Every structure is written in structure tokens, then in C-alpha cells.
């Protein structure tokens, strides 16, 4: 008895990533049809243009389209999308050379249900562009206009061309937006360096549903403006700022936290954050779940410990660069982190393995730990440590003292680890990484670039779940690639950048055996002959992207030829 399509749809939607739809679509015409109708997003590049009409017909239920760094006629592309009959809800136009005024206006006439628009890193974004956005998409709920690019506005001596000031985002543009976008829930204004508190005053007065705001690197926005947002926007649950507290924390700003009754996420990166400010945040009794105070100055263990004592339900904590932290202080702080799922202690140079194993043992819900460039592994000690089955991701890169013995203990106490980053850890050897892979059978993502202590990659067991492997540097040679080909049949992405000991023989072994391989990076692999590229494309239909050795510069004709086989071959 065959299952109805509705049941198959429910099953397919349980997959952890839609990239698995491609292999499913090859099983039968029924699966092909189901996966086509389930796909909700599409990323478009210049090479995709010839196939767009077919893609739009194939995926009729697309809700989101991404067009990053497009070098063609963007207005014409948006014209094609407008005529597709799709009912889009999300559009990303990041890192474009110009604002597609005509194209967006046409989309606004046809796609009135668009609620999310990302125009980040747009070149020469200006007030007239914001007016077009407000007029074209009145139902927008999420708008990102962060970090517009104005490099061309400055002369060779960094003198400002005053005639160009009409071509930037100012308060007038933001004010116009605020009067048009009554449904706005989220806006990121970061990097718009010429807006002032006036913009925040009108946003908080006109956009009454506003929940999230990003205002990093906005030099003319003051603590007073931020305080106004917290006092007026009663639904505000996330705010991201930086560089505050110079020369001191303003009392109006400090006292505004008590009004932000729904604030769940707070980012104060790169600021002067005093213990007094942390105490005010603690006393405000917010529903705080996510706190980022990375690379902040002026606060001490006293301030952060009091805040964590008050917010023992905190789930996300970023303390990167808090150099005053010691193992002893972290042992004390762990008493308040029983609900945490993420912690970042990178660049806290006094922290060692004791901190890591204390976190593992005392924080049962932790899933993700970042301890880059600390003193992890610097000491040898005998300590009882617990097993934490929740931990899924560890970023331990740049720990120069991280030893085999330490990484073995980590593997034992994190048996369900899926992602491990240990790049630039020179004292780890093949013995240590072998034990990690043996004990962590759920490993899906491994980064071990420039691990100079690993001289070979020789394992005698299968790694069926490993999907991403980054092993740039001297580690990889043809023998290691043959092992990967035999043991890692599920590999999707392989990064071999700078592997000078790799040749076409090893690469061919991986391409032939890893039947799901989608991406491979051979940049700076100078001993791989460039004539291998066509055979890679033809022999492995799953390949979607190849970064070839630097000597290979494909012509437009070659690029199009490879694309017809489904693979984007970049310039090396």
C-alpha cells in the first residue's frame, strides 16, 4: 500500500536540511514532484539566469529568494521574478553595486505580501531608496539596511565630497520609512553613520509594534536615543548597540532598562560597561535570555556575577575577551548557568581545561561552547568530569597547548558531538583526532586547518555521518585522501585549501567514492593539475561548486559548459 503524498511531505519536512531533497528527487517521479513543491527558498547567481523560467516552474511554492552580490542587470532580474507568479514573503539583495529602484517598484506592485527585505551592504544607499521601499512594501515586518557602502564618496586623502551628502541615508529617509511601515517588527540600521537620535524618536513613535532594532556603528546615535527606544517601544525584545559608555554611562540610559519589560536579547559589544550598569540591568528584572558583552571594558567579576545571579534562566552568554576571568571565577559563575545552551569565552586568556570541564559537568543544557585562543590544555590535572550528552558544537581553535590527552577527555565527555573546530592547534596529533572520531560517532562537521602536529590521517573505522571536512595546510596528502574516500562516503563539502602534498590522484579518489560530494576547495593546491576539473564535473553529478587551483581561470564559455552540468567552477 502506497503512502499518500501528504504523509511523504510530513516525513520529508522532518529532514534537518533541504539539501537532502536533491537525492530524494532522484528516487521516483513522485518524490521529484513532492520535493519540488516543498522547496521554499532559492539562491540566485549570475550563472542561474538562463535557467530561471524553468526553476520558477519547477518550484512553484517558493517564499524566499536570495540574490547576493549580483553582477548582472538587477532591475531586469527583479522584473523576471515579478512576472513569475510567485508569492514571495522574503527577498535578500545583499552586497549589490547599486539599488534596483525600478525592479523593486515593479515587485511592490505584484508582490504585496513581501514581509522581509534585506538590503545590507548596498552600495550608495540613499533616502530616495528608502522612500521607494516604504511606498512599495507597506506590509514589511523585517527590514535590513545595515552597513551601506560609501567608499567612493571619499577622495584619495580621505576628504569628504560634500556634494555627495545628498546620496546617503539620513534621518529624513528613516522618518519617511517610519510613517509608511506601520507593521514593522524588526529593523537593522547598523553602519548608517549619519543618522541621529531623531531617527529613533520617529521609529519609536510611528512603529508601535517594533520588537528588534540593531544600531551598531551609528556614530551620531547617543545613549539618550537608545533610552528613548527602550522607554517607548513596549514590545521591544531585542536591541543591539556598541561603543556606548564613552566618556561615561548616562543615567537616563541606565535607568531606561526598567521600562523595557519584554527585553529578551541585549548586545552591548565593544562598550564601556560598568558594574553599576550591569547592576541596573540586573535590578530591572527583565525576561533576559541572551546577553552579549564581548570585548567590553570596565566591568569586573563582581558586576557579571551579580547579573548572572539575577538571570539564572539565561540561555546565551557571550563574554569573549573578558580577560579578568579565571578558572576560579568561572567555577563560581557556573552555579548560575544551569539553563545556558551557548557560551562564548574566546580570548579569555587565563582560562584552562578546568573551566571547560566545569562547564560540561555543571551546565547540563549546554549545546555550544566557544573557547578560541584560551589556555585550554595548558595544565595536566586529575579531576572527575561528567558526561554531557547535550553538547553538539565546540570551537576550540587557536589553543596552542591543546594536547591529545585533553582532546581525548573532551571526546569522552561529549559523546554526541556533531561539530568540532580545532584549527591552529599545533600540539594535537593523529592519535588525538583519531580517538575523537572514534568516540564521537555523530560527527558531521570537522575543521582542523593548519594542525601541524597531525602528520597523517589514518583511521580504520567508518565515518558515515561526516558531511563537512576542512583540513587546509600540510596535513592532507594523497594517502589521507584515499582514507577519506573509503571511510567518509557521506561527505558533502571538502576544503583542502593550501594542501601542497595533494595531487590529482587523491582528489580523483574522493570524487569517485564520495557520491554525495557537493563542494570542493582546491585553492593553493599547486600540485593538482588543472586538467582534472572537467573530469571531476562529469564523473560526479552531485558536485555543485569547485574552487580550482589558482592556475585555473575558466573562460565564460567553460563556466557555462560546466553550469549546464549543474556545477559552478569559480576562478582559482
Per-residue pLDDT of the chain (572 residues; tens, 9 = 90+): 476 766 766 766 666 556 666 666 656 676 666 677 778 899 998 878 888 999 999 899 999 999 998 988 999 999 999 999 999 999 999 999 999 999 999 999 999 999 999 999 999 899 999 999 999 999 999 999 999 998 644 444 545 554 444 579 999 999 999 999 999 999 999 999 999 999 999 999 999 999 999 999 999 999 999 999 999 999 999 999 999 988 889 999 999 999 999 999 999 999 999 999 999 999 999 999 999 999 999 999 999 999 999 999 999 999 999 999 999 999 999 999 999 999 999 999 999 999 999 999 999 999 999 999 999 988 765 567 789 999 999 999 999 999 999 999 999 999 999 999 999 999 999 999 999 999 999 999 999 999 999 988 889 999 999 999 999 988 889 999 999 999 999 999 999 999 999 999 999 999 999 999 999 999 999 999 989 999 999 999 999 999 999 888 888 888 888 988 889 998 76
The confidence score (pLDDT) of residue 26 equals 59
**Cell output for 481:** 585522501
Report the alpha-carbon distance of residue 263 to residue 251 in Å, rounded. Answer: 19
Report the alpha-carbon distance of residue 516 to residue 572 in Å, rounded. Answer: 23
Report the alpha-carbon distance of residue 146 to residue 241 in Å, rounded. Answer: 13
**b/e for 401-435, b at 16 or more Cβ within 10 A?**
bbbbebbbbbbebbeebbbbbbbbbebbbbebbbb
Report the alpha-carbon distance of residue 170 to residue 231 in Å, rounded. Answer: 23
Report the alpha-carbon distance of residue 241 to residue 286 in Å, rounded. Answer: 18
Q: Is the dihedral of CA 517, 523, 527, 529 positive or negative?
A: positive
CB-based contacts of 16, cutoff 8 Å, min separation 6: none
For the domain covering 456-572, report its CATH number: 3.80.10.10
Report the alpha-carbon distance of residue 26 to residue 19 in Å, rounded. Answer: 13
Question: Would you say how long the chain is, in residues?
Answer: 572
The confidence score (pLDDT) of residue 116 equals 98
What is the domain partition of the chain in residue ranges? 312-439, 456-572
The confidence score (pLDDT) of residue 19 equals 61
For the domain covering 312-439, report its CATH number: 3.80.10.10
The answer to whether domain 312-439 and domain 456-572 are alike in fold is: yes
**b/e for 466-494, b at 16 or more Cβ within 10 A?**
bbbbbbbbebbbbebbbbbbbbbbebbbb
The confidence score (pLDDT) of residue 164 equals 46
235 and 211 Cβ atoms separated by less than 8 Å:
yes
The confidence score (pLDDT) of residue 162 equals 42
Q: How many CB atoms within 10 Å of residue 106?
A: 18
Amino acid at each position: 500500500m502506497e503512502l499518500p503524498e501528504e504523509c511523504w511531505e510530513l516525513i520529508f519536512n522532518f529532514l534537518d536540511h533541504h539539501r537532502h531533497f536533491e537525492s530524494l528527487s532522484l528516487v521516483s517521479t513522485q518524490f521529484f514532484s513532492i520535493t519540488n513543491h516543498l522547496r521554499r527558498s532559492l539562491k540566485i547567481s549570475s550563472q542561474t539566469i538562463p535557467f530561471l523560467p524553468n526553476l520558477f516552474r519547477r518550484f512553484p511554492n517558493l517564499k524566499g529568494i536570495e540574490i547576493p552580490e549580483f553582477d548582472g542587470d538587477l532591475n531586469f532580474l527583479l522584473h523576471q521574478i515579478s512576472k513569475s507568479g510567485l508569492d514571495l514573503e522574503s527577498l535578500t539583495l545583499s552586497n549589490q553595486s547599486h539599488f534596483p529602484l525600478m525592479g523593486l517598484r515593479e515587485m511592490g506592485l505584484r508582490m504585496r505580501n513581501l514581509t522581509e527585505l534585506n538590503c545590507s551592504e548596498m552600495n550608495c544607499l540613499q533616502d530616495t531608496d528608502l522612500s521607494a521601499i516604504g511606498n512599495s512594501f507597506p506590509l514589511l515586518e523585517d527590514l535590513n539596511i545595515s552597513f551601506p557602502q560609501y567608499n567612493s564618496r571619499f577622495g584619495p586623502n580621505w576628504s569628504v565630497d560634500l556634494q555627495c551628502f545628498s546620496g546617503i541615508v539620513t534621518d529624513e529617509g528613516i522618518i519617511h520609512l517610519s510613517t509608511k511601515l506601520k507593521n514593522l517588527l524588526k529593523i537593522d540600521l547598523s553602519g548608517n553613520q549619519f543618522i541621529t537620535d531623531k531617527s529613533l524618536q520617529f521609529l519609536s513613535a510611528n512603529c508601535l509594534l517594533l520588537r528588534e532594532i540593531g544600531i551598531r556603528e551609528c556614530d551620531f546615535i547617543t545613549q539618550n536615543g537608545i533610552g528613548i527606544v527602550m522607554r517607548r517601544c513596549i514590545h521591544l525584545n531585542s536591541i543591539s548597540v556598541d561603543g556606548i559608555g564613552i566618556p561615561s554611562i548616562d543615567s537616563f540610559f541606565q535607568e531606561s532598562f526598567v521600562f523595557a519589560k519584554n527585553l529578551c536579547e541585549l548586545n552591548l559589544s565593544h562598550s564601556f560597561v560598568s558594574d553599576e550598569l550591569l547592576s541596573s540591568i540586573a535590578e530591572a528584572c527583565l525576561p533576559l535570555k541572551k546577553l552579549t558583552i564581548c570585548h567590553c571594558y570596565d566591568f569586573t567579576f563582581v558586576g557579571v556575577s551579580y547579573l548572572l545571579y539575577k538571570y539564572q534562566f539565561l540561555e546565551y552568554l557571550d563574554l569573549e575577551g573578558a580577560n579578568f576571568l579565571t578558572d576560579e571565577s568561572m567555577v563560581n559563575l557556573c552555579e548560575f548557568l544551569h539553563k545556558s545552551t551557548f557560551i562564548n569565552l574566546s580570548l579569555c586568556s587565563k582560562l584552562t581545561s578546568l573551566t571547560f570541564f566545569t562547564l560540561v559537568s555543571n551546565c547540563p543544557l549546554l549545546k555550544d561552547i566557544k573557547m578560541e585562543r584560551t589556555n585550554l590544555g595548558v595544565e595536566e590535572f586529575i579531576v572527575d568530569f561528567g558526561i554531557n550528552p547535550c553538547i553538539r558544537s565546540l570551537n576550540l581553535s587557536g589553543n596552542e597547548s591543546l594536547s591529545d590527552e585533553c582532546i581525548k577527555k573532551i571526546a569522552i565527555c561529549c559523546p554526541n558531538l556533531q561539530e568540532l573546530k580545532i584549527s591552529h592547534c599545533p600540539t594535537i596529533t593523529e592519535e588525538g583526532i583519531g580517538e575523537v572520531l572514534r568516540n564521537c560517532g555523530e560527527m558531521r562537521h570537522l575543521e582542523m586547518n593548519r594542525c601541524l602536529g597531525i602528520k597523517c590521517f589514518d583511521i580504520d573505522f567508518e565515518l558515515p555521518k561526516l558531511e563537512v571536512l576542512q583540513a587546509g595546510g600540510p596535513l592532507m596528502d594523497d594517502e589521507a585522501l584515499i582514507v577519506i574516500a573509503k571511510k567518509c562516503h557521506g561527505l558533502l563539502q571538502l576544503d583542502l585549501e593550501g594542501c601542497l602534498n595533494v595531487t590529482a590522484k587523491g582528489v580523483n579518489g574522493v570524487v569517485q567514492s564520495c557520491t554525495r560530494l557537493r563542494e570542493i576547495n582546491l585553492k593553493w593546491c599547486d600540485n593538482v593539475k588543472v586538467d582534472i576539473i572537467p573530469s571531476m564535473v562529469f564523473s560526479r553529478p552531485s558536485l555543485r561548486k569547485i574552487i580550482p587551483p589558482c592556475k585555473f581561470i575558466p573562460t565564460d564559455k567553460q563556466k557555462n559548459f560546466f553550469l549546464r552540468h549543474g556545477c559552478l567552477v569559480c576562478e582559482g
